[in-house]
Amino acid sequence: MQKYVQLLKQNKIKITPQRLQIIQFLDTHHTHPTAEDTYKTLKKNNPALSRTTVYNSLETLRKHHIIQELTISGNEHCYDFKQGSHHHFLCRTCGLILDIDIKCPNQDRLLHNGHHIEEVHGYFKGLCKNCANKQKNKKVKP
């Protein structure tokens, strides 16, 4: 928990137990949950937690670049604690979102031009390994 307290302090964000819980949840669940997923999961252990608190906290954390907001699926925003620039892969069949650890090759070029880049988002869409295998198996059978 201490590292999350430090993180909030560094960013001059008021430390609340809810914010700490949200960061911890995102740091330990790299499944890119939506705001609703986050709320529902944390609510189980904190019956007093309100939806508004979760949504507002996510927004505060996002504004300070502590968490990333992904719009990969088009309708719902997903959240990610993972630091540094990385891209995402969305499976169109099962909805899985994976981290792709490659850096945007154009990022440095833009930096050299004097631009200040704060976020880089790369979205890949397709079939994940599991779904691709399932499809293959289906085709093999007569």
Residue 108 in tokens: 């440095």
101 contacts Zn ion (rule: CB under 5 A): no
Nearer to Zn ion by C-beta: 94 or 117? Answer: 94
* Residue number with CB closer to Zn ion (51 or 92): 92
Closest separation between CB of residue 122 and Zn ion, Å? 11
Distance CA 36, CA 44 (A): 13
Burial (CB < 10 A; 0-12, 13-18, 19+), residue 141, is exposed
Closer Cβ to Zn ion, 49 or 58, answer by number: 58
Give the interface with Zn ion as residue ranges (CB under 5 A).
Answer: 80, 82, 91, 93-94, 96, 99, 128, 131
